[in-house]
Chain A
């Protein structure tokens, strides 16, 4: 399979805020403009746009892709919009990747945006539609139920306690204190704070959850020769993977995300990675809830089943540890604008590998990083592996 090599050459993002004044278009523009400026490209240099944004319900705008398109630099250009729940943030760059890898496009702008604050009284109302309308919604469910049910199962299978999991929230919110765009960075938060926070849907407590957020992120992708003309520091997309499990979530054992494993294997194979635990230097798994980071680390085969909590407790996943996880601060610390959150993680790996992450910079010379997102009814795994050199 002869595919062209593709690099990330620029990135940009807005602050992640609870309720933005900017319209969705303006958020998308700010991120896209910053990404283009960061590699000194103009709109004329962009051949196509990959746009990721959640269903219309959040922003409250029908045909949202079309609505956002001008802000995403897509005026009179080929655009493709995609959505796989929270997995979108890593799925959209995959879509951008095959635009360029196919040889059809030289430069592709990847934009992800979400303005959840428009959804009143609470964006959870839009999430209700995730449940089956006939067999589940009459029970008046709540999005927190699915996470609580999964978290409980995970804890039960591995004999874990809340404090084993709360450490992730503490690590990420503290990491986020160094992210200039973060909504919930907190340099002083402790495990006690998390364990004492309000119980929403046991075992889920308030500080286990990431917040409703508005924000946008953008990347610029370029094909091999073009990338080398644009920048001396291209960050190559080494591998991509994506996989979707069944929507019959009550027919699966939720303690282990098989779909993340399948996506990871696809990406590892493409990247030629045989020993992920040695070859992946920075990991940004999706962390809308603290237990999810652990769940996903295991699905990514970076930790044995049930062992991720120990790695956290022992500091292996700290920024200065041997396998830093979520040095950005993750969704728990930076924020969770559904489609944009995953792209924030890809952007973080990009900045880290270039040594541009400022106070969040992971020490040493990391060469390869992995970003992963999850979404839908505990269903989708999307993985992108980035690397420098070669």
Chain B
């Protein structure tokens, strides 16, 4: 059928059609402000971050220690059996070298997000965070990194209480 139709519908506009007011339009900015409850598991996770520690939870049935912690094991649907303190070190599972913000504005110094498998948790259990104090060229999957914390007085109970992870010498 696509070969029978001569002209498909849809009118393409250019950005200049808006800035030059060739088309009529209206604008709106909703006030979408939220206060999300952290919940039992993440509430504790944040409190431990404030104290300078990373915590996970363990399911005996699946023999799995996970991070970020959750109160129910999503594999077997049983409540988790215990809280487990983890190390603040880990291994880089994957990373990216980023040159743009979300609004596509360019940045000068690249940002390095990574998934870091946290030591003490089961294999493959990672969290997303940033890498720092490292040359982008030296970042490798599998490298060992350690958390660089904010000083205690500046920690508020947030994922940003860890500034970034840096390579272990």
Contact = CB atoms under 8 A, between A and B. Distances in A.
B135 interface: no
A200 B10 contact: no
B76 interface: no
A358 interface: yes
Contacts of B127: 135, 250
Given A121-B103, A201-B97, A180 B2 contact: yes
B77 interface: no
Contact of B94 (A18, A156, A181): A156
A13 B104 CA distance: 29
Q: Interface extent on B, as a size class?
A: 35 or more
B126 A202 contact: no
B66 A156 contact: no
Given A142-B101, A360-B2, A22 B10 contact: yes
Contact of A19 (B15, B98, B125): B15
A156 B93 CA distance: 10
B96 A20 contact: no
A179 interface: yes
Contacts of A125: 102-103
A251 B45 CA distance: 16
B168 interface: no
Interface in B75-114: 93-104, 113-114
B13 interface: yes
A21 interface: yes
A250 B94 CA distance: 10
Contacts of B34: 133
Contacts of B97: 199, 201-202
Nearest to A183: B12
A80 interface: no
Contacts of A351: 1-2
B96 A16 contact: no
Interface stretch (A40-48, A145-153, A368-376): A145-153
B2 A357 contact: yes
A76 B53 CA distance: 57
Q: Interface extent on A, as a size class?
A: 35 or more
Contacts of A250: 93, 115, 125-128
Contacts of A215: 10
Contact of B102 (A60, A143, A359): A143
B104 to A, nearest CB: 5
Contacts of A248: 66, 68, 70, 74
Contacts of A152: 94-96, 141
B8 A149 contact: no
Contacts of B126: 250-251
B102 A17 contact: no
Contacts of A136: 128, 159
A124 B9 contact: no
A304 interface: no
Given A156-B94, A201-B98, A252 B4 contact: no
B100 A14 contact: no
Interface in A322-339: none
A139 B9 contact: no
Chain A CB within 10 Å, residue with most, of B96, B97, B126: B96
Nearest to A360: B2
A254 B102 contact: no
A167 to B, nearest CB: 21
A269 interface: no
Contacts of B38: 134
Nearest to A10: B1
A120 B104 CA distance: 12
A15 B7 CA distance: 9
A145 B2 contact: no
Given A149-B113, A202-B136, A214-B10, 16 more contacts: A14-B8, A15-B8, A19-B12, A21-B12, A34-B9, A121-B103, A134-B36, A139-B159, A141-B102, A142-B102, A149-B115, A156-B94, A181-B10, A248-B68, A250-B127, A360-B2
28 contacts: A17-B13, A20-B12, A20-B13, A21-B12, A22-B9, A121-B103, A122-B102, A122-B104, A124-B103, A128-B102, A139-B128, A139-B130, A144-B98, A145-B113, A150-B94, A152-B94, A153-B93, A180-B5, A181-B10, A202-B99, A202-B136, A248-B66, A250-B115, A251-B124, A253-B124, A351-B2, A356-B4, A357-B2
Interface of B: 1-5, 8-15, 23, 27-28, 30, 34, 36, 38, 42, 45-46, 66, 68, 70, 74, 93-104, 113-115, 124-130, 136, 141, 158-160
Closest 7 CB pairs of A and B: A358-B3, A148-B96, A15-B10, A17-B12, A202-B97, A30-B9, A14-B10
